[in-house]
Amino acid sequence: MNPDTEPIRITRGPGGEVEAEGLFDSLAANILRHAGFLFEPALRGHWIRLPFDMGRDWENQHATWAAEMLTVARYPVHLAPNLRPGAPKSSTPRTPAMTAQAPPGRRPHR
Residues 6+ apart with CB under 8 A from 81: 87
How far apart are alpha carbons 67 and 8 in whole angstroms?
A: 9
Least trusted range by pLDDT, from 73-77, 83-87, 104-108: 104-108
CA 3, 48, 20, 89: dihedral to nearest 10 degrees?
-170
pLDDT score at 5: 77
pLDDT score at 87: 58
More confident residue, 42 or 38: 38
Distance from chain centroid for Cα 52: 9
pLDDT score at 91: 46
